[in-house]
Amino acid sequence: MPVPALILPLLAAAAQSAEPVVVTGHAWAPFISPMGEPFRARTPADDTLANWFLQADRNHDGALTLDEMQVDADRFFAILDSNHDHEIEPEELVHYEWEVAPEIQVNSRTRRKPGEAKPNSPQSGHWRRGPSDDDELAISDHRRRGRDGGLQGAARYALLNIPEPVAAADTDFDRGISLAEFRQAAAARFNLLDSNRQGRLLLEQLQALRSAIQAAGPRPRRGADQVDMRVGNPLPPGD
């Protein structure tokens, strides 16, 4: 029998016996790092904030310093700077917003945390309007963005109230972010998080901050006495 005739049956048998490749996607909320990098959970037990912290804590001493945060910013900058010209240009910024972290877009639906059950009451911020989850989530997100002063963009999944953390590093407004600007932003954001001026950030401290932000809920309307305790760039006053 010719050689090709022998090979074809073997390939067919191998294809039939091979295990199917199964790819599972999860529409869970990511954690957006202070510099804008998304960290996504693979299981409901994953702590995405801890995943970022352990990556940034280069010497693994349990504390994140300013130098370590800037080194981590340098690493993420190199990922975004796809043409390696030492600047994040408008095209690379679009790639970040649409491909790397699409959850930060203003029109994206708010995602729940891994393992978090779907709210089913008006008090939770979701309106019941029928059986469609898409309708429900879209209405919820519309309320957060437009009516009750809720967090926007990346701030919904982050420690800082910065809706677009990469673009926000463009301090000279020239539509490009240099490495120096990105490192300067890392230092400023470290200082925002290091409210006690200890010179280091602990994971437990950041986890407590995230819990406090989530518990704070929407920003109060204009005229309310409550102080907005969320950290970062302020949002415009509510109506």
| Interval 203-216: pLDDT, tens | 999 999 998 887 77
Q: What is the DSSP letter of 123?
A: G
Query: 205: helix, coil or strand?
Result: helix
Full-model pTM: 0.68
Q: What mean pLDDT comes out for the span 220-226? A: 51
Q: Does residue 235 carry a pLDDT above 80?
A: no
pLDDT in tens, 100-154: 999 888 765 665 566 555 555 444 443 333 334 443 343 344 434 444 457 889 9
In whole angstroms, give the CA distance from residue 183 to residue 172.
Answer: 14
Please tell me the least confidently modeled range out of 28-42, 58-72, 74-88, 110-124.
110-124
d(CA 194, CA 184): 15
Return the pLDDT at 106.
73
Long-range contacts of 52-61 (CB under 8 A, 24+ apart): 53/203, 53/206
Question: Does residue 150 contact residue 48 with C-beta atoms inside 8 Å?
Answer: no
